Each structure stands twice: as C-alpha cells, then as structure tokens.
Amino acid sequence: MSCADIKPVSYQDLNDAKNNKEADASSQKIKDKENHYIEEWRKGCGRKADSPTTGLALSGGGIRSATFSLGILQALASHNLLKKFDYLSTVSGGGYIGSALCWALRQTPPPEQENSKQDEEKQENNRTCLLDKEHFPFGSDDPLPPEYHSKINAENESNPGKYKRQPDSDTQEQKNYLNFFRTHGQYLSPGDGNNLLTLFNAFLRGSILNLLVWIPFIAFIFYWLIGNGELPEIESPLEILNADKFVAFKLILQIGLVIVAVLFLILLVYSAVTWLSKVVKLIKNYRGFWLSKVFKPTATYKARLNVEKTATTLVLMALLLLLIGSLPIVEHYLKDEYASLGPIAVLGGAAILYKHFMALMLNAKVPTGILVNVGALLFLYGVLLLALQLALFVGQSDYGVLLLVIAITVGYFVNLNYIAIHRFYRDRLMETFMPDPESIDVNNENLNKRHYPAMKANKAYLKDFADLNNTNQIIGPYPIINTNAVFIGRILRS
C-alpha cells in the first residue's frame, strides 16, 4: 500500500467515525502503516513484537527546550533506553532537536555487519540500532570535565549505589555533531553575512511585498468610492464630507457614530439593570415575585458576559468605521506640509511591531503589550491614509484600474513563503539542526566558518524521514509532527 492510497478525510467522515466509535477508512490505513513501521523498527532493535507501545514527547520552548531535550536524548541513549521508544512526538523547540535526530540518523552510515550467512538474521535485527550508546549520533559522554568526576568517583568508591562517571567513549564524529550545535547556538545571526541586519531585511522585504498587495487593493476600493476627477475647493471638515466624492466616507462615518450611540445605550441600559438588581436583595424572600427569577445570579452573570462581548465587538467596529470615515478630513489637513505622515505612520507602526517580534525571538522581558496595540493601530491607520492618498492621486487620471492590476499581480506571482521572515527563520534553523555532513567534518578546510548552507536538507521531503515502503530506512522511532489548527467560532470544523 502506497501513500497514494490514503485519501483526504472529510468532516462527515470524522463525525461518522466518532458516532460509530471506529476509525474511518483513511485513518485506519494510516494506523496500519504506522503499525508496520513500528513492527519493523522493533525488529531492527531486537525488541519483542508484543512490547507495550511507548512514546517520547519533547515539548516546546525555543532553543532552551532544544538544549534540554538534547540532554534527555543523550541520557536515554547512554543507558540504551532510547531505542525502546516507538514514537517521537515533538513541538516547537523540541522539534528542533527532534528534526536534528531524524536527520542525523539518515546521514549516519549503518554499523558495519559481518557478511556471514549465519549472521543474516542478526544483521536484519541490528540494521537500525543507531540509538544505543555506541552509535547515538550526538554522543552520550558526560559533559562535565573528567577531573570533576575523578573526585566524585573517589568519594563514592565505597558506595556502589552512588553515581560513577564512565570513561569517555564518543567517537570524533559524535563529538563533531555536538560541537556544531554548541557553536551555532546563535542560529539567527550565524555570521558570514547572516546577522540581525539580515533578519531585519527579511522582515522589511516581506512587509513591503505585503503592502504592495494591500495598499493598491484598498486604494482601488477608495478610488471606486470617490471616482476620478479634480477635488473641489474645500475649506471646512463639513464641506469635505458633504462633497459628492466623499459621500461614501460620510456614510461610513455616520454608521460608526450610530454604533457608538448604540454602545452607550447598551451601557446605560445595563447600568440601570444592575441598579435594579439591588432591589432584588430587598425582596429576595418573596420567591414567587417575578424579579427574583429574572435576577438570578446565573442570569446576571450571563448578562455581564454578553454585554462584555457585545461591547468589545461594537468598539472594534466603531473604531474601524470612524478611522475610515475620518480619512478625508485627516488627508485634507495633511495634504501639504504633512503629506508624508501616511508613510511615516506605516513605518513607525512596522518598527514597533518589529521590536515586539525581536523581543519574542530573543526572549527579552520587555513590556510590549500596549506598545504592540499602539503600533498595530498606527500601522493600520497609516496604510488606510496612504491608500486614500494614492487613490486621490490616481483619481486625477483614468488609470485607477492599474491599482487592482498591481495588487492582483503581486499577490498571485509573489510567494511570500519563500521571501518573508518565516522563510529566513526556517533556513537558519535548518542550517543549525540539519547540517550537511561536510559541515561537521573536522577535515573540512572551511570548518572555521560559522555559517554553512544546508543544501541536502533543503532538498529533503517529509516522506524521506519515515519511508514506510523502505525497510532499510526505518532507523528511528516513528516521528509525529505536532501543530495546531484554530477552530474557535466555527460551527463545522471541516
């Protein structure tokens, strides 16, 4: 059975499987292939086929989690326990070192086997045993200096139950891998032309290309609303909104003001209701009175939740509509000396958001909550203002449709997955945790370089890490990639 036999699973399939309390056909095929993989993996490690199913989970936490998980893997390998796990489940930082292990296992040549036919069965059972103490790719020697453990061993000589350091047994290849990780801990700025400025360039590049889609698209909508032709002579804000070109913005502003009025009305009514609830305390002994039923604790609590949710939605709607509706007024006062405030707002908001992003990436403990909201609001208003300025500029000619052409062209042909900041992040992680074998070879004349392109990993596919149809490639626990899908607010999670 090939992977092509596994078909997509619909929401209805999952729902039927839940009701029938049995796996759907495609999920069952996936499980059968997993079972086949684990059966071959156990066979290669010399484990019994009926052994209990086990799994090792490496949690997230960035580079700190990857470092901690590496120590766990080394400790398990040093006691020959790592090969007893059937599944390897990782997420985020744990996925860094989990991917590194899966990659290293496929770059490590299998242990040399004897060619005797009598040992054919033994060779079959040992073909994948690369997770024991002897062959674990990252080594398993105790990282503390030998002189420290010499003292500990001397003190614990008379106590067999105490820890005793074993002699170092890691090969040079294993030490090379570990040293490579240690020297590339600053993976976002490995050097040789890749530093924090390169990260900023990736952020700026992705932001500009995104704006080349959204600003022309929004500008085209504004152009469609206001039409083309010269702007009328306007002296006051009221004249701006009364102009024929801006009648749509006037309507948007009026809707925003109506929502604000509705919000205040809801708050006033809710305040009056909370005052009436005090009356309930005075008549709570009269169980038959209708107010005692209306103002039950659960009812008032649900009312508070509903008011809070409704108020939040109305505030966001009103804010957005007021921002859009007031754009012509703001643009009118900025069109001369301060016409550049639109781009400045965009750049200022982008700078604040970039600072917040870098704080997250570098685990900096800085108060960024309010700052991020201000930056996002500044960025959004700058984009809208810049789009209106562009629409007014293009509106003086008959080329407004070019705005839509630019937005569609950039959006269709530019793949942000390859040029934006997450691609930069992916490349740096790949170069650190999935290096080419030549990058960790001590005989490599370029070993003193800090940055090595990971050409082989860049061409690898996920299926290469768990080839269910190739027994010789089953050389590690079955890898599980964890991700999350947000279904909040969806009735049908299809």
Helices vs. strands in the chain: H and E counts, helices first: 19, 3
**Tokens (6 digits) for 152:** 């500990």
**72 pLDDT more than 90:** yes
Looking at residues 58-86, what average pLDDT do you find? 90
CA-based nearest residue to 37, from 464, 481, 461, 478: 478
**140 pLDDT more than 60:** yes
**274 pLDDT more than 70:** no
Spatial separation of the C-alpha atoms in residues 472 and 476, rounded to whole Å: 11
Q: What is the pLDDT of residue 366?
A: 52
Could you give the percent of the chain with pLDDT greater than 90?
10
Q: What is the pLDDT of residue 118?
A: 42
Q: What is the pLDDT of residue 98?
A: 92
Average predicted confidence (pLDDT) for the chain = 76
Q: What is the pLDDT of residue 73?
A: 94
Q: What is the pLDDT of residue 174?
A: 86
CA-based nearest residue to 256, from 202, 324, 336: 324
DSSP assignment, residue 228? S
The kind and range of the H/E element at 479 are strand 478-481
Looking at residues 214-239, what average pLDDT do you find? 74
CA distances from 213 to 107, 138, 380, 391, 397 (A): 42, 46, 14, 14, 21
**494 pLDDT more than 60:** no
Instruction: State phi, psi for 69 to the nearest 5 degrees.
Output: -65, -35
As a whole number of Å, the CA-based R_g of the chain is: 32
**491 pLDDT more than 80:** no
**227 pLDDT more than 50:** yes
Q: How confident is the model at residue 124 (pLDDT cuts 50, 70, 90)?
A: very low
Q: How confident is the model at residue 116 (pLDDT cuts 50, 70, 90)?
A: very low
> What DSSP letter does each residue of 256-303 carry, written as one string?
HHHHHHHHHHHHHHHHHHHHHHHHHHHSTT-TTSHHHHHT-HHHHHHH
Q: What is the pLDDT of residue 149?
A: 63
SS3 191: strand
**238 pLDDT more than 80:** no
Torsional sign, CA 32, 38, 40, 46: negative
Residue range 418-469, pLDDT digits in tens: 887 888 888 888 988 998 888 887 665 555 555 678 888 888 888 777 776 7
Q: How confident is the model at residue 7 (pLDDT cuts 50, 70, 90)?
A: low
**Helix residue ranges, H only, 111-246:** 120-126, 146-155, 172-183, 196-226, 237-242
Q: What is the pLDDT of residue 143?
A: 73
Residue range 375-425, pLDDT digits in tens: 777 778 888 888 888 888 887 777 788 888 989 998 888 887 788 788 888
CB 103: neighbour CB atoms within 10 A? 21
Spatial separation of the C-alpha atoms in residues 315 and 256, rounded to whole Å: 9
Is there a contact between 391 and 219 (Cβ–Cβ < 8 Å)? Answer: yes
297-325 helix and 327-334 helix, angle to the nearest 10 degrees = 40
Looking at residues 487-494, what average pLDDT do you find? 52
Q: What is the pLDDT of residue 133?
A: 85
CA neighbours closer than 13 Å in the CB half-sphere of residue 8: 4
Is there a contact between 277 and 304 (Cβ–Cβ < 8 Å)? Answer: no
Looking at residues 261-282, what average pLDDT do you find? 73
Residue range 277-327, pLDDT digits in tens: 655 555 555 554 455 555 555 556 777 788 888 888 899 899 889 888 888
Could you give the percent of the chain with pLDDT greater than 70?
67
> What DSSP letter does each residue of 375-411 carry, written as one string?
HHHHHHHHHHHHHHHHHHHHTTTT-THHHHHHHHHHH
Residues 250-265 as b or e (16 or more Cβ within 10 Å = b)? bebbebbeebbeebee
Please tell me which residue, 375 or 491, carries the higher pLDDT value: 375
CA neighbours closer than 13 Å in the CB half-sphere of residue 280: 17
CA distances from 196 to 95, 188, 190, 192, 354 (A): 23, 7, 9, 12, 12
**Tokens (6 digits) for 255:** 């809707």
**91 pLDDT more than 80:** yes
Q: How confident is the model at residue 100 (pLDDT cuts 50, 70, 90)?
A: very high
Q: What is the pLDDT of residue 492?
A: 52
| Amino acid identity at 220 | F
Which range, of 210-219, 224-233, 327-336, 411-420, averages the lowest pLDDT? 224-233
Cβ burial, residue 74 (10 Å; 0-12/13-18/19+): buried
CA neighbours closer than 13 Å in the CB half-sphere of residue 214: 15
Residue where the block lists tokens 């900041």: 421
Indicate left, alpha or beta for 62 from its phi (over 0: left) and psi (-120 to 50: alpha).
left
Q: What is the pLDDT of residue 76?
A: 92
Q: What is the pLDDT of residue 27?
A: 81
**52 pLDDT more than 70:** yes
The kind and range of the H/E element at 90 are strand 87-90
Q: How confident is the model at residue 360 (pLDDT cuts 50, 70, 90)?
A: low
**481 pLDDT more than 60:** yes
Residue where the block lists tokens 């004349």: 445
